Amino acid sequence: MQIQSKLPDVGATIFTTMSKMALEYQAINLGQGFPDFNTDPALLGLVSEAMAKGLNQYPAMAGVLPLREVISQKIANIYKHQYDPDTEITITSGATQAIMASVLACVGAGDEVIVLEPCYDCYIPAIKLAGAKPISVPMRAPSDINSVYSVDWGLVNAAITKNTKLLIVNFPHNPTGAVITATDLDELEKIVHQHNIFLLADEVYEHIIFDGVQHISLSTRPALAARSFVISSFGKTTHTTGWKIGYCCAPKFMTAELRKVHQFMVFTVPSPFQHALAVYTADSNTYLTLPSFYQTKRDYLSNGLRNTRFKVLPSPGTFFLLADYSDISDQQEADFSIWLTKTHGVTVIPVSAFYQSSDAPASNHQLVRFCFAKQEATLDLAIERLAKV
């Protein structure tokens, strides 16, 4: 007997593969994106309190109401959009499940979904599982080491057909660190004005943005909010990637369909974490201090890399930065990343892994992604090893 695979091309993710290799070669893991420091003890205390209080049984399918209320209030404060906690906010098992549920809810056979490459690894499998067709539109690669990736809206517009149902965007952008601009939002508004399509905004790094710039959520524009699934994750915002608590905000008619999928994927997500995050997130300092916290780490790694042969590109957002290794090697990005782990004991992620055709020349710009969500001691050790490359 054989299973007819729904995802014949899928293996272990690049993050799993590189983390495994890092362990095997005892390399410093600046690959997979997760902090190597613990979360705030106050938050840990709130989880223990919730457990001790007996908040350990099934919470509401859409998530505990106090958490949905806090999220609604937060978005009203910073993005000036009012989501109804009852009908428009759903707590999910990380952003990953919010993305899967949104895609399954709104697209199917015959539909096309546009993604911008390089793109995060879970979008295309979700589209394929929904029976729809992923259409990859390349972002404009940086022209030199002082620039960042940007969206080529001409190419996006050219990719839209009568079958296009959904466009997925991700800002601040993994892996490139690019942030969204008002002009990008103008372009999106023009698109939704002309075409009847849904939007999915993966905004998991909304609070990790630097140099005084503010993230502009798709929810800040009523015309976009009216047709968007806006997704975020507490994993990034509270240094708890292993808790897998995220959420999806969307208009009532979209949320109703999302919840039909959500309730049969997971029904609901762990109660004590949700209660703890509700209390914790009510204090806006818990997320408003993240830009300066991570900017220090970005600058620390960037400065350290200046003493190596890597050339650092600007990183306006996320806890990643890209570096060009063309002074070191001619290898393709994947080969270079493996070589770096094995030979120099530092693990990174090839940017080409975020493209459907990862071996194609158009996917290889001699760039690798470093995660700087690490303690200074970890970054020091990595910099010391990289200086010898």
What is the DSSP-derived secondary structure letter of residue 31? Answer: S
Q: Which is nearer to ligand PMP, 170 or 337 (CB)?
A: 170
Strands of 246-249's sheet, edge to edge? 89-92, 246-249, 228-233, 198-202, 164-170, 112-117, 133-138
Helix (H, G, I), strand (E, B) or coil at 259: helix
Based on CB atoms, which residue is closest to ligand GLN, 254 or 301?
Answer: 301
Q: Which residues have C-beta within 8 Å of that of residue 376, sequence separation ≥ 6?
A: 297, 300
**Which whole-number Å values give the CA distances from 16 to 13, 31, 177, 347, in the listed order?**
5, 9, 21, 12
Residue 13 binding result from ligand GLN, ligand PMP, none, given CB thresholds of 5 to 8 Å by partner type: ligand GLN
Rule CB under 6 A: choose which of 120, 198, 310, 319 binds ligand PMP.
Answer: 120
90 touches ligand PMP by CB under 6 A:
no
User: Encoding tokens for residue 356?
Assistant: 């459907």
Only one of the segments 90-98, 152-160, 263-271, 354-362 lies at the binding site for ligand PMP (rule: CB under 6 A); that segment is: 90-98
Site for ligand PMP contains 59 (CB under 6 A)? no
Does position 172 bind ligand GLN by CB under 6 A? no
The residue within the footprint of ligand PMP, chosen from 64, 199, 204, 373 (CB under 6 A), is 204
Q: Exposed, middle or buried, 373 (CB in 10 Å: 0-12/13-18/19+)?
A: buried
Rounded least distance, CB 341 to ligand GLN, Å: 15
Pick one of ligand GLN, ligand PMP, none as the site partner of residue 200 (Cβ within 5 to 8 A by kind).
none
Q: Which residue has the tokens 């990008």?
A: 184
Choose the stretch contacting ligand PMP; rule: CB under 6 A; options: 92-100, 179-187, 270-278, 369-377.
92-100
Toward ligand GLN, which CB reaches closer, 125 or 270? Answer: 125
Compare residues 32 and 274 and give the one whose CB is closer to ligand GLN: 32
Q: Is 15 in the site for ligand GLN (CB under 6 A)?
A: yes
Rg (CA), the chain: 20
Residues between 248 and 267 that touch ligand PMP (CB under 6 A)? none
Is residue 276 classed as helix, strand or coil in its secondary structure? helix
Shortest-Cβ-distance residue relative to ligand PMP: 94
- 92 touches ligand GLN by CB under 6 A: no
Single out the residue of 13, 73, 150, 378 in contact with ligand GLN (rule: CB under 6 A).
13
Cβ-in-10-Å burial (0-12, 13-18, 19+) of 365 comes to middle
> What SS3 class is residue 269?
coil
Which of these, 71, 57, 78, 114, lies nearest to 255 by C-alpha position?
Answer: 71
According to the binding rule CB under 6 A, does residue 32 interact with ligand GLN?
yes
Q: What is the 3-state secondary structure (H, E, C) of 122-142?
A: CHHHHHHHCCCEEEEEECECC
In contact, 49 and 366? CB cutoff 8 Å: no
Site stretch for ligand PMP (CB under 6 A), options 1-9, 241-249, 282-290, 378-386: 241-249
Nearer residue to ligand PMP within complex by CB, 168 or 383: 168
Q: Which is nearer to ligand GLN, 13 or 263 (CB)?
A: 13
Query: By the criterion CB under 6 A, which residues form the site for ligand PMP?
Result: 33, 94-96, 120, 170, 174, 202, 204, 233, 235, 241, 244, 246
